[in-house]
Structure formats: structure tokens, C-alpha cells
Amino acid sequence: MLRSAEIVLNAYRAGIVIPAFNIPYLPMMEPVIRAIVDQDSFAFIETARLEWFKFEAGGPDEVMAEFRKWNKPEYVRLHLDHVPVIDEDDIRIDYLPIIKHAIDLGYHSVMIDGSRLSLDENIAATRRVVELAHHAGIACEAELGAVLGHEAGPLPPYDELFETGRGFTRIDEAERFVNETGCDWLSVAVGSIHGAISGTQKDQKKVEARLNLDHLEQLREATQIPLVLHGGSGVRQSDVLAAFKKGIAKINIGSEIRQAYERTRLETGRVEAAQEAAQEAVYKRTTELIRDYLGNAGIRSTVAGETITPHDKGRAIP
């Protein structure tokens, strides 16, 4: 069985993408995995710290237990998404025990989010997690720049954010960051935004985001490692497809399938019927995203079917 780092590197080299689906409600797990298998695709199942408190995912133990019920190792891996050093409510988090616990549980890769730190602090925190992950033989994702949307309160107008490049990952910082941390994948900010997670905003349809593809190309040249696009729901499809040729090898999708689940559960009558209908809505939307939006159907053998000996920047990938 190929490791997560090898699979993402295969995608990076082939110019295709691995979707990563967030699971804020445990009943979403089965239909998402079922859709991935039915499309002969490959994907990550993800859980982020905020989904344990602001939704109903429970925690890393509960997500792992549900994942094991439905796991199809030839089709999916489990990834620990955003564990922030400073969270969306500006609270300092004791992040290392959370990540250590996920590694002990058997998560296949982890993410440290130091994006709200200074560059030097982000490098130091990320390096610590990279050492932990690599010692366990798994990959570490990091973030540089600010993919906005999870903060409390409304965002400024999207066009203003895009035109000013607010939060965009800086080219010079990205090269230094990758060289000094040894991270395997880097989440970059090039125009996408996260779906809102609080108040009435969490139910609203996201604006159609776009990507600064020239900026992304420069990041690819500077880092030479697989890049990750967070806030993948709602990004203009032509930009998403172009991004796969410019270094994006993993794309996170949360809002679209979460809202499909929440909307259907709310609109349906009996609890059991609501749950079943919501699960089928998630299956349908996941299938559409894999087949029609990402063109990801049938790629499993390309990314997960061959053993490689990956090296990037002179560094063996765990």
C-alpha cells in the first residue's frame, strides 16, 4: 500500500489532483467513501479541529472509528486537516498533543496550520510537527499565507480581497519556508476562500472564487513540492482545472458536501428518513464533484497503483 506522500507526489508529477473531503458529520463518511469507490477515484477523508467543536464530528477518535468501519485502503486515506497554533477565534492551541494523538491513532498524514504566526514562528512550529510526522513515517502538510473565511464576522468583498492579494502566499517566503521546514505539501493562498463556519453565514452559498494562476505558477517554481488548495468548493472550474498543471496536487472540499447534508437533513421529515436522504445527497454531490468538476473519476490506478522512490529537493519523501 502506497503511503500518502507517494500518492500525492504521483498526482503532482502527473498534473492531476487528489480531492480531500471534510467530514463534519460522521454519517457523511459512508456515502463519501462509497462515491469515491464507485467512481474508481482516490481521495483523502479529512477532519479538522474546528469540525469537532463547531459541528458534530466529535473528535479524532470518533472520526477514526467511523473511518475504520468503511475504509477501503485502495481508495482512501485519512488526513488530519487544520490543527492551528492560533485558531479562528484567536485562541492559542496546544497543538502538539493533538497531532501526536492522531499519529498514535494511525492517521495517514497530518496538517499543522501556523498561518496566523509570524514567518519565523510558523517555520519553527512546522519544523517540530514535520519531525514528529516523519519519525512516524507519514507526511506533513503546512500552510503559508492566509486562506480566509473561517474567521468570525463577514469577509470584505471578494473582489477587493482578490485584487489586493490580501493574504496571498509570498513567493520568497514560500521558498524559504519549504527549505527550512521540510514539509511535504504546502497549502497556499492564491484566491480561494474557506466556507463560513459560524452563524447564518455557514448556510450561505460561497461566492465564485478565482485563482491567480500566474502567482500559483511562481509558487510551484519556488517550492518544487506538491501544493494544496484549501477552500476548493465554489472556485471557478476553469481555474481549478488549470491549477492542477501548476502544482496543485490536493484540493480540499468541505462546504459543498456539508451544506448538501445539512440542507437535506433539515428539509426531510422523520429523523431516520432525514438521515438517509442527507447521506444520499452527500453521495450525489461527491460523485458530481469527482466526475464532472474535478475530472477525477478513474484515476486510482494512476496515483495509487505504482510504487515510486520519490525525492524532492534532495530529500526523501516519507
- Would you name the residues annotated as active-site residues? 81
Task: For the chain, give percent helix, strand, coil, nearest 5.
Answer: 50, 15, 35
The CA distances from residue 89 to 93, 101, 187, 271, in Å, are 11, 23, 20, 32
For residues 19 and 66, give the distance between their C-alpha atoms in angstroms, rounded to a whole number: 19
Helix (H) or strand (E) holding 216: helix 213-223
What backbone torsions phi and psi does residue 249 show, to the nearest 5 degrees?
A: -115, -5
What backbone torsions phi and psi does residue 226 show, to the nearest 5 degrees?
A: -60, 135
For residues 41 and 302, give the distance between their C-alpha atoms in angstroms, rounded to a whole number: 10
Contact 178, 210 (CB under 8 A): no
Q: Please give the grid coordinates belonging to residue 304.
A: 495509487
Residue labelled with grid coordinates 500566474: 214
Kindly report the length of the chain.
Answer: 318
Closest CA to 48 of 173, 195, 166: 195
